[in-house]
Amino acid sequence: MIAEIIVLLILLVAVYVASTLWQLRCLPPGPFPLPLLGNLLSIEQNRPYADLAKMAKKYGKLLRIHMGTRKVIVINSYELAREALITKSKDFAGRPCHFFGNIFGRDCTDIAFQTFNKRWKMQHKLALTALRLTEGKVNIADHAEKLCNRFYSCDGMLFDPYDMIFNSLGNCLSSLIFGKEHKLDDCEVKKLVHATHVFRDSLGAANLLDTFPILKYIPFDIIKKAKCAGKIRDEIFERKFGEHVSTFQKENIRDLIDALLKGFHELTDEGLVTKEHLISSASDFFFPGTETPSSIIMWAIYYAIKHPDVQAKLHRQLDDVIGSKNRPPEISDKPNLPYLNAFITEVHRIVSETPLAVPHSTTRDTSLAGFKIPRNMTVLINLWAIHHDPDIWGDPFSFRPERFLDENGQLYVEGVMTFSAGKRSCAGESFARKAVFLYLARLLKRFRFECPRGTTLPKEEESVFGIVLECKPFQIHAIPRDKDEK
């Protein structure tokens, strides 16, 4: 009897191995998957991007893994990422099913998590046009200055700047989306900020639920929180949208929602995009518009403290270019501040704040690097691996803003994919770049940042992975530079 069981087990293993090898024969190389679990045991949930980068050393920069029974292609190369996202952009522009993405994306009526189709193209174009029309209506510099004043009121005392930065950007996005007439009050901003934090945490936990869909029927606390946050977010956006509809005038575009309504009324293909899609498009801008820039600003303060020589160079260039103590930096100063721009780019590179981006999927049978990639294959773009590739950067774990300056000291950027690329690149890239520049230019012009004596900054590898890579909390002294000079 025991011998028969052993023979049966050997037969089952042989069948599993043979059938798996046959299914994988045309796909990129990768570790052999275990039944049901796939390669999950080889990937740490807190730093999956780093584990996938390590796998590239063995299997190549285009590899295949199994998340449970789901096959996933991982791109760890800048050249291959450009081929997929730009050269073959339509082939790789889809989105796989995403449990928390469905909640965050209002049942896939949004731009971020909706897959590539005719409706998405129309909705995406409508949103981009609306953003261009209204981006200049919000005074980012004013919000940055108010944040500086809050820092100044701390009078050099110890504090954690994260909530101040996040709430400031929340108010900034509120002004962009809802305008002055329908601007959110402080309580509503706090509710949306809380919802954003919940979505960030839930998206970080999404892999397990997407790998084992049966788990979504178990009442996990994170699922309850995500659904509750979605209801709070939707109530605010639906109410504000209704207010805009009742007061809309096409000759007077006040904000992003008005601009979306204007584009909606001008559509010729009626019915493809509905008002539900407009609400989802508007809410789509709040999460990345607050989460990503606030994360980068925190990381920039972190590296300015960690590298005081870099911070001193930033101060010198700001003083040389801006000159007068009474004139704050403006967006027009950006071309004249190459070292600050290089510093921001280096922060984006070394942090890779969205290390695995939002997952893509193939929209049709295609190929990459000579391998056949079938339709509906999930594809991960490992931005962290791309930004830490020693073949490109030489010393990828060293923080050196100078790597983005040419021999004349001017900004030169290549190899960085901060906002992804191609058809699914971040729609709010222009706004995010302006916000990060203005906030950091004004903060660094007015303050010298330090850690408390006797303490150290948290380690980079201790950062918290959601869909955005968050620095662990730390406290700072923001010392007004005008007091330094007295």
Per-residue confidence (pLDDT) for residue 324, from 0 to 100: 66
| More confident site: 390 or 36 | 390
- pLDDT above 80: residue 278: yes
- The 3 state secondary structure assigned to 405-474 is ECCCCCECCCCCCCCCCHHHCCCCHHHHHHHHHHHHHHHHHHEEEECCCCCCCCCHHHCEECCCEECCCC
**Boundaries of domain holding 262:** 1-480
Share of the chain above pLDDT 90, in %: 64
DSSP codes, 91-118: TT-B----HHHHHHTTTTTSSSSSPSSH
The conformation of residue 83, written as its DSSP 8-state character, comes to I
Write out the two tokens for 334.
């950006």
Q: What is the mean pLDDT of residues 305-319?
A: 97
In a domain, 337, yes or no: yes
The conformation of residue 393, written as its DSSP 8-state character, comes to H
Per-residue confidence (pLDDT) for residue 484, from 0 to 100: 64
Q: What is the mean pLDDT of residues 330-358?
A: 95
- pLDDT above 90: residue 402: yes
| More confident site: 21 or 196 | 196
In a domain, 486, yes or no: no
* CATH number for the domain harbouring residue 24: 1.10.630.10
Spatial contact of 360 and 264, defined as CB atoms under 8 Å apart: no
User: pLDDT band for position 38 (50/70/90)?
Assistant: confident
Per-residue confidence (pLDDT) for residue 325, from 0 to 100: 67
- pLDDT above 70: residue 485: no
- pLDDT above 80: residue 370: yes
| The total number of structural domains that make up the chain | 1
**Burial zone of 315 (CB within 10 Å; 0-12 exposed, 13-18 middle, 19+ buried):** middle
Mean per-residue pLDDT of the chain: 90
In a domain, 51, yes or no: yes
Segment 106-162, tens digit of pLDDT: 888 999 989 999 999 999 999 999 999 998 889 999 999 999 999 999 987 899 999
In a domain, 127, yes or no: yes
Residue 471 annotated as lining a ligand binding site? no
51 by DSSP, 3-state: which?
helix
In a domain, 373, yes or no: yes
Per-residue confidence (pLDDT) for residue 209, from 0 to 100: 66
In a domain, 296, yes or no: yes
| More confident site: 351 or 156 | 351
- pLDDT above 90: residue 268: no
Spatial contact of 162 and 473, defined as CB atoms under 8 Å apart: yes
Please give the Cα distance from 341 to 421 (Å, whole number): 20
- pLDDT above 60: residue 206: no
Please give the Cα distance from 433 to 111 (Å, whole number): 20
Which residues does 217 contact at the CB level (< 8 Å), separation at least 6?
none
Please give the Cα distance from 317 to 232 (Å, whole number): 44
List residues bridging with 470 in a β-sheet.
464
| More confident site: 376 or 8 | 376
Spatial contact of 86 and 194, defined as CB atoms under 8 Å apart: no
Segment 164-179, tens digit of pLDDT: 999 999 999 999 999 9
C-alpha triplet 265, 270, 272: angle, nearest 5°: 115
Q: What is the mean pLDDT of residues 72-89?
A: 96
List residues bridging with 469 in a β-sheet.
465
Segment 98-118, tens digit of pLDDT: 887 788 888 889 999 899 999
Of the listed ranges 269-273, 276-280, 340-344, 442-446, the least confidently predicted one is: 269-273
- Candidates 151, 140, 128; CA nearest to 174 is 140
- For the entire predicted model, the pTM comes to 0.93
Neighbours of 240 (CB within 10 A): 23
480 by DSSP, 3-state: which?
strand
In a domain, 485, yes or no: no
